[in-house]
A and B are shown apart, each in its own frame.
Chain A
Amino acid sequence: MASPVEHVRESGAPAAAGGPPPPGGLMRLAGPGGRPLGLILKLLLLAVAAAIAVWAAIPLIDAGNWIGLAIVIVATIAIFVIYLSPRMIPAKYLVIGTLFLLGFQVAPIIYTLTTAFTNFGDGHRGSKDEAIAAIESASITQAPGSEVYALSIGTEPDGDLVFLLTDAQGAAFAGTAAGLEPLVPGTFSAGATGKITEAEGFTVLNVGEASARGAEIAEFSVPTDDGAIRSQGLSTAFEGIAGQNYQADCDCITDINTGTVFTADNDIGSFVDPNGNALAQGWKVGVGFENFTDALTNPTIAGSFFKILLWNFAFALLVPVLTFALGLALAMLFNSEELRGRRIYRSLLILPYAMPGFAMLLVWRDMFNADFGLINNLFGLSVDWLGGEWTARLAVLIIQLWMGFPYMFLVCTGALQSIPSDLVEAAGVDGARPGYAFRTITFPLLLVATGPLLITTFAFNFNNFNAIYLTTGGGPFPADNPTAGATDLLISYTYRLAFGGQGADYGFAAAISVLIFLIVAVISIIGFRRTRVLEEVN
């Protein structure tokens, strides 16, 4: 039969029978039937990628950020190679997500990991040079008879602050973080008080704009030979001398007024006097495993750490167990064909899951309020729920039960429906009582279906920051230890360490994060192993 061949040829598909076979390479380009639309789309997307790369590269070049530029270039080349190559098909589907993952998850995690081995935190933020500069500029005081300038606040084109100064003789200067530069007469104009109102190359801020950056201005200082120029208010500046000076030969800072010598201790990143008193400003140094050993061995820290860990486990285990138990019970309750209004029940029961979580947590906190809370009003109680150690824990669990059971209800309803009913019927025929059939057939099958979800629920609740932070805030706190409360999870405890009122200690917080990560990872991996999810990967 010849006609099909003819059709094939008409449609442009290769027809080896009629004539010399087209070479493979040509075919791949034209393709049987072609795909011009796909090709145009692909080129369009690559053009967009190139445009984004150029857009991203320009500020990096301006700022001289060569590492950033290298990353942009490598990422762009990777995208072009992967999408232009006919091979590497999996990479086409993975590369975008991977880039985001690396940029916004892996990079911060690696940074956090490295931070865990430093003393990074309040007082230990920057390098040693930055610390010295900060100490010196902070110690600047106005010496009697020192120069006073009329001050205008300006900015450089890139937005950096600049002090535009006029001294008593009318000479004008531009003071930047790098130093003092005289302004050429004629390139600026000054007002009656000597304040500069306009200067070439700078933007002079008005009072409103300046006061918006008030904190920055108060910190700003222009280094000079004897000390530095600092602002006093927004319209005057003075030259002061540093009360504490750094000397490189002894690697120490001397206080001019008291004569105390603070010697640099490069192990702890602080300047320390012979009595062991350290200057508040230090610098970031590596401290090895000290943060980890502190967490595990320092008696006060370790004491609260293990207590919190225990409650953390109890919380992370109880929440999935309780929500699953309630969800399953309700799913079975409504799994009866005879029950009317199942749809309505179901629609209403899942409402808690659909309400915005942060808002409902705050509402629950207020419902547990001892004085005017709804719970006490409703049941005629006068319990100080969030004030007592155990009532607070109970309250937190009730809240999480409320937040989580609808999800488990949905999951169990789906799982119950997916279990073939003939299995249970077969057990019935074999003589199993309903309770026994449930225990030996339905429940194990349910666990198989929902096991991975239970594990992820555990992992999620192990770090359920909102559940604590928005309700009890970790409290109640024992009188002797205001950093570790009765309902604290490791993560809320860590948050308080890192950002709490008593000075941030990012290094230590990072170390705890790493410990949390190890705990969750190990438990989850064991859990997944047991449910054989990982074997599916093979």
Chain B
Amino acid sequence: MSTEAMLASELRDTSHGSGQSGHVVRLGSARGNWFRRVGWRHVVGVIALFFAIFPILFVVSAAFNPQGTLSSSTLIPRDASFANFDTLFSETSFWRWFANSLLISLLSAALSLFISAAAAYAFSRYRFRGRRAGMLFILLVQMFPQFLAIVAIYLIFVEISELYPAIGFNTPWSLILLFLGGALGVNTWLMKGFFDTIPKDLDESAKVDGATHAQIYFGIILPLVTPILAITGLLSFISTMSEFIISSVFLTEDSAKTAAVGLYGLISAQRNANFGVFAAGALIVAIPIVVLFQFLQRYIVGGITAGAVKG
């Protein structure tokens, strides 16, 4: 029996009941129906919301907790002040860290998007020797736990730092370059799947109209894949903002640190005492991501699976 059929039979039952037992019962029964159809969803939804939100509430409350220690932080703030923020801004290089984070994350997200989308276009649109092998290779490389190669990466960058201090340790470029190494990766697959859903006729039509491959890519394909570009860009921005293992190896000077490395340093040294300051910093870091997320939510819902369906 379909849902509609069930609802219909329920409705029939209630109207039947109303004839016998009068208004009070009918109203009560209707309310029961509302609960069975919609109300319980709100109950479960609120429980889920609590699970999703309370750690965030805790962070907010800790950030505004004037005592600033972990042990004095509660879910509902007893008192509120900007003391932790003041400490964060005056006693640490937080804005510098935050700027570094934004620079590294924005640039590496944008550049790797560019690289990844170009590769996805080639894999989706052209048949060439080594295509299949290339795609499998990209997938396989991703399965190697990259940061376990950190000894090798470190040694490579020791060499680079010596030869080219401008892109060596303690510069944002070192991290950006390293992250670009991962540009051909899972995202390329995701995007290739999305590119495949765009009919090839469009390319061919443009070709006959006289467009070059570059005009087709920039003028026809890219505008049509904006949703997936937005998603992959956002996801790679988020993961770069949160990255801290490799960053902590690469960025040791205070002025070069990212927010993740800097904030981690705060509580690895003084876990209890600096908790409020840490929470304040984490909150500020979260703001751009949360805003972007709400903004791009529509794309995300459709986009991830659209690519996934096609693989």
Whether chain A touches chain B in the assembled complex (some CB pair under 8 Å): yes
Instruction: Tell me whether B193 and A536 are in contact (CB under 8 A).
Output: yes
Instruction: Tell me whether B148 and A112 are in contact (CB under 8 A).
Output: yes
Instruction: Tell me whether A352 and B56 are in contact (CB under 8 A).
Output: yes
Instruction: Tell me whether B151 and A414 are in contact (CB under 8 A).
Output: no
Question: Given contacts A414-B305, A449-B308, are A345 and B181 in contact (CB under 8 A)?
Answer: no
Collect the chain A residues with CB atoms within 8 Å of residue B294's CB: 347
Partner of A450, one of B263, B278, B308: B308
Q: How many residues of A contact B (CB 8 A)?
A: 119
Collect the chain A residues with CB atoms within 8 Å of residue B243's CB: 358
Instruction: Tell me whether B304 and A402 are in contact (CB under 8 A).
Output: no
Chain B residue at minimal CB-CB distance from A413: B301
Instruction: Tell me whether B290 and A349 are in contact (CB under 8 A).
Output: no
Instruction: Tell me whether A105 and B245 are in contact (CB under 8 A).
Output: no
- A selection of 5 A-B contacts at a CB cut-off of 8 Å is A112-B148, A359-B286, A410-B301, A524-B139, A534-B136
CB distance from A249 to the nearest CB of B (A): 34
Instruction: Tell me whether B147 and A465 are in contact (CB under 8 A).
Output: yes
CB distance from A21 to the nearest CB of B (A): 18
**For the complex, is A33 an interface residue (Cβ under 8 Å from B)?**
yes
Question: Given contacts A105-B146, A429-B2, are A358 and B305 in contact (CB under 8 A)?
Answer: no
Cα(A434)–Cα(B3), bound, Å: 7
Instruction: Tell me whether A59 and B260 are in contact (CB under 8 A).
Output: no
Q: For chain B residues 163-186, which have a beta carbon within 8 Å of chain A? A: 163-164, 177-178, 180-184, 186
Instruction: Tell me whether B152 and A351 are in contact (CB under 8 A).
Output: no
Cα(A262)–Cα(B298), bound, Å: 71
**For the complex, is A3 an interface residue (Cβ under 8 Å from B)?**
no
Partner of B177, one of A104, A377, A425: A104
**For the complex, is A108 an interface residue (Cβ under 8 Å from B)?**
yes
Cα(A90)–Cα(B178), bound, Å: 24
Q: Most chain-B CB neighbours within 10 Å: which of A347, A372, A494? A: A372
Cα(A324)–Cα(B6), bound, Å: 28
Instruction: Tell me whether B183 and A537 are in contact (CB under 8 A).
Output: no
Collect the chain B residues with CB atoms within 8 Å of residue A306's CB: none
Interface string of B72-102 (1 = CB under 8 A from A): 0111000000000000000000000000000
Instruction: Tell me whether B55 and A360 are in contact (CB under 8 A).
Output: yes
Instruction: Tell me whether B49 and A345 are in contact (CB under 8 A).
Output: yes
Instruction: Tell me whether B148 and A510 are in contact (CB under 8 A).
Output: yes
Partner of A533, one of B44, B297, B311: B311
Interface string of B108-147 (1 = CB under 8 A from A): 0000000110110110001010011011101111111111
Question: Given contacts A351-B52, A374-B75, are A358 and B301 in contact (CB under 8 A)?
Answer: no
CB distance from B281 to the nearest CB of A (A): 8
Question: Given contacts A112-B148, A345-B45, A537-B136, are A354 and B308 in contact (CB under 8 A)?
Answer: no
Instruction: Tell me whether A112 and B152 are in contact (CB under 8 A).
Output: yes
**For the complex, is B70 an interface residue (Cβ under 8 Å from A)?**
yes
- B interface secondary structure, majority: helix
Instruction: Tell me whether A107 and B152 are in contact (CB under 8 A).
Output: yes
- A interface secondary structure, majority: helix
Instruction: Tell me whether A364 and B153 are in contact (CB under 8 A).
Output: no
Q: How many residues of B contact A (CB 8 A)?
A: 116
Instruction: Tell me whether A428 and B1 are in contact (CB under 8 A).
Output: yes
Cα(A517)–Cα(B140), bound, Å: 9
Instruction: Tell me whether A338 and B305 are in contact (CB under 8 A).
Output: no
Instruction: Tell me whether A536 and B310 are in contact (CB under 8 A).
Output: yes
Chain B residue at minimal CB-CB distance from A326: B48
Collect the chain B residues with CB atoms within 8 Å of residue A103's CB: 181
Question: Given contacts A96-B118, A352-B56, A521-B143, are A59 and B75 in contact (CB under 8 A)?
Answer: no
**For the complex, is A187 an interface residue (Cβ under 8 Å from B)?**
no
Partner of A115, one of B134, B152, B245, B285: B152
Instruction: Tell me whether A349 and B118 are in contact (CB under 8 A).
Output: no
CB distance from B100 to the nearest CB of A (A): 14
Q: For chain B residues 263-311, which have a beta carbon within 8 Å of chain A? A: 263-264, 267, 271, 275, 278-279, 281-282, 285-286, 289-290, 292-294, 297, 300-306, 308-311
Partner of B42, one of A59, A339, A510: A339
One of A178-186, A328-336, A385-393 at the interface? A328-336
Instruction: Tell me whether B152 and A105 are in contact (CB under 8 A).
Output: no
**For the complex, is A60 an interface residue (Cβ under 8 Å from B)?**
yes
Collect the chain A residues with CB atoms within 8 Å of residue B278's CB: 359, 362
Task: Rank and list the top 3 A-B pairs by shortest CB-CB distance, nearest first.
Answer: A104-B181, A428-B2, A359-B282
